[in-house]
Chains A and B, each alone.
Chain A
Amino acid sequence: MFRNQYDTDVTTWSPAGRLFQVEYAMEAVKQGAAAVGLRSTSHVVLATVNKAASDLSSHQRKVFKIDDHIGVAIAGLTADGRVLSRYLRNECINHSFVYESPLPVSRLVVRLADKAQVCTQRSWKRPFGVGLLVAGLDETGAHLYYNCPSGNYFEYQAFAIGSRSQAAKTFMERRFEAFNGYSRDELIKDAIFAIKETLQGEKLTSSICTVAVVGIDEPFHMLDQKTIQEVIDSIEIKEDDASAAAADQAPMQEEDKSSEAAAADQAPMQEEDKSSEAAPMDI
């Protein structure tokens, strides 16, 4: 889309019936680092690529625990994501306080969507520039939702957002029908494989990716680096001969590509929540 006379305000419609500001907000999501989510009947796995702004800085936190049974992965403006996570946590705490039971995932995503919609209909606000993959478990089972800046939300078996997410989506489109029957470990493996697809040839190490799981009898938590590395190693042993087949050769505009390759070596500033003595909240 190009700059036109209908895109200054979020409250201005275009003649074709589009709100360009909202669509631009969705573009922001596409620029963020990749995040994928996969769901089986009993577990949901989220995985993200953690960009570091430079070799000197720590990696961005993109996965947030919202409650014992819900977590989110974000792509886009991480500051917006942090604010929304705080809102989601508050909603869960308030619901638990009043009803002494966990907030059902579908209700949470509706509230989030309504909050996002408000920002598309006020002239003094702007839409949130972040897409959220909401992974959660409740009485009705395991769920994975995607919340857009537009205020829409959809439920998915598997989804990927962020830059080069198409590669991950293509990979998962071939396999998603089997996901419901997957075990927890197979799901994790496929999530990491999907993340690998988005890296398109760059080396995948546990330092640049975060993986989180929630399941029946398993509260939402992030996996530690050692576990992730083991899965990565087992993937790489298998595909010694396979190249990154699904990768598309579109010109890379990612300015962080080179820094990401450098950051693949263990950066000294690892986030503590990846170590095995992680604090309980593991946010």
Chain B
Amino acid sequence: MALRRDWVYENNGGTCVAIAGTDYCVIAADTRLSVGYSIYTRDYSKICKLADKCVMASSGFQGDLKALQKNLAARHLIYQHQHNKQMSCPAMAQLLSNTLYYKRFFPYYTFNILGGLDSDGKGCVYTYDAVGSYERVGYSAQGTGAGLIIPVLDNQLKSPSPLLLPAKDAVTPLSETEAVDLVKDVFASATERDIYTGDKVEIMVINASGIRQELMELRKD
């Protein structure tokens, strides 16, 4: 419990994953909200649609996440008024980075992943730390289960890992259905070992025809 005056955050747990494909992007997050060893709710969405082709998923402190989402949504509305169009995913990526760094000395305790289609229609995934350092990658995972998931993605996605240099265009050659299946598999595995991950996984697939949502049940223990 946050009773100390100098620790105003809480970690609500959870895991997010995103994979970029040639013309699609898959973003997924579990729906469990926990504090300590308790579950507050099994049905909490950590995913937010920021723009037509841009979706953000975050784990960490959900209070900060809510505030961050509202902030970005308002900024997006202003952008639309001024530019008469929706924000592209790369533009939103930069905006998120700036918004996070703005609070460098009292950060948003959120570990974010941004996913969507870039201006060419190719899948893109951006991964962040709590203060706005970001990078475009082919796939990413954040949250309590990330340590269990990333090695599996490194192995399975047959695309250059972000750790390899020189940096290569890391979009996976997998098809959309294969990528979604992979996401379901990694979540099922992470649920087995990570206490904060489980209940349900919310999967959003963004492609040229729009955004599709899927829910899959996970173990509830």
Contact = CB atoms under 8 A, between A and B. Distances in A.
A281 B85 contact: yes
Interface in A89-125: 89-90, 93-94, 96-97
B74 A279 contact: no
A280 interface: yes
Contacts of A97: 70, 74
Interface residues of B, number: 10
Interface string A272-283: 110000011111
Contact of B86 (A65, A93, A280): A280
A283 B77 CA distance: 12
B52, B74, B81 — which one has the most chain A CB atoms within 10 A of its CB?
B81
Nearest to A65: B81
B133 interface: no
B84 interface: yes
A283 B78 contact: no
Interface string A2-26: 0000000000000000000000000
Contact of B78 (A65, A93, A273, A279): A93
Contacts of B81: 65, 86, 89, 281, 283
Interface in B65-90: 70, 74, 77-78, 80-81, 84-86
Majority-rule SS of B interface residues: helix
Contacts of B77: 89, 93
Interface in A237-283: 272-273, 279-283
Nearest to A92: B77
Contacts of A86: 81
A90 to B, nearest CB: 8
Interface of A is mostly: helix
B70 A279 contact: no
Given A279-B85, A280-B86, A281-B84, A89 B70 contact: no
A283 B84 contact: yes
A281 B80 contact: yes
Contacts of A96: 74
A280 B80 contact: yes
B41 to A, nearest CB: 19
Nearest to B52: A280
A93 B80 CA distance: 12
A86 B84 CA distance: 13
A97 B67 CA distance: 9
Contacts of A90: 78
A54 to B, nearest CB: 24
Contacts of B74: 93-94, 96-97
Contacts of A282: 84
Given A89-B78, A93-B77, A93-B78, A280 B85 contact: yes
Interface in B60-117: 70, 74, 77-78, 80-81, 84-86
A126 B10 CA distance: 52
Interface of A: 65, 86, 89-90, 93-94, 96-97, 272-273, 279-283
18 contacts: A65-B81, A89-B81, A93-B74, A93-B78, A94-B74, A96-B74, A272-B84, A273-B84, A279-B85, A279-B86, A280-B52, A280-B86, A281-B80, A281-B84, A281-B85, A282-B84, A283-B81, A283-B84
